[in-house]
Amino acid sequence: MVSYDFSGKVAFVTGAAHGQGRSHAQHYAKHGADVVVTDINQNMDTVPYDLGTPDELEETVSLVEDEGQEALAIEMDVRDESAVESAVDEAVDHFGKIDVLANNAGIAHFGDLVEMDEAMWDEMLDTNLKGVWLCSKHVGQHFIERGGGGKIVSTSSIYGKVAGPGSGHYIAAKHGVLGLTKTLALELAEYDVNVNAVCPTGVDTPMISGVLESYGEEALEEATEMTGPWNIFDEGGMIESKDISEAYMWLSSDAARYVTGIGLPVDAGMLAK
């Protein structure tokens, strides 16, 4: 593992109850940051698997504390601007500042665009795109008011760069994250804020496990039929959350001080095909 120094820094991580968000929180703590961990802590009507729970979020707190860092847990729905604003204010009141925003919260489900219920579209776009905007808006305002720069890293997807059947709403949201990232990078550059995204391939997380359990292996097989395997190594298997966390760490560090406005693929070679 590469060593970064986030001593004295505060990272604000969304969707931190489990999966990639928990991994990001642990990694920030391993490198010396205190961490604000947030999650919705309840299920959504259109999502056919369980989302994070209060107990899981508290477990993430314990994992951060095991690294010798302080954690602040906040229940927050990224779709709700008042909740996001309140959470950012609480984090700043508690720690005095935020240095890094990790926009990780997201959901996944399948449906053909010509048959999809409006509720499925709305919950997907509100969570995976609007939520990134709302968190970036309020943490971005803090960066501007405080001065001294900052880092915003968001999770897009390989499906932010390509298309596939059965998940057009997800693909639209993840393409949108890249557009949002590029625009924020331009708007916040004068304040020394770097804004980037990570584009993962398939990652072994509770979200993917929930999708598999809900829809079956055939759903993912259909989704990858046009694009091919998500991984050209390991017989096409999933990668791990820590692989995405390492990209988050680099983009959050001074090593990437002149990197902004990009969507970094961590795709195990999928896009090379």
Strand order in the sheet with 71-75: 71-75, 34-39, 10-13, 100-103, 150-155, 193-200, 263-266
Residues 155-170 as b/e (b if ≥16 CB within 10 A, e otherwise) read: bbbbbbbbebebbbbb
Nearest to 155 by CA among 233, 241, 234: 241
CA 10 to chain centre: 17
Beta bridge partners of 111: 167
- Strand, helix or coil for residue 164: coil
Distances (CA, A) of 245 to 57, 85, 197, 224, 262: 18, 25, 12, 24, 16
Q: What string of DSSP letters covers 12-47? A: EESS-SSHHHHHHHHHHHHTT-EEEEEE--S--TT-
> One of 4, 159, 170, 248 is an active-site residue; which one?
170
Active site residue 170: yes
**Cα distance between residue 7 and residue 14, in whole Å:** 20
Nearest to 201 by CA among 136, 263, 133: 263
Spell out the residues 6+ positions from residue 108 whose beta carbon is closer than 8 angstroms to its own.
Answer: 167, 170, 207, 208, 211
Catalytic residues: 170
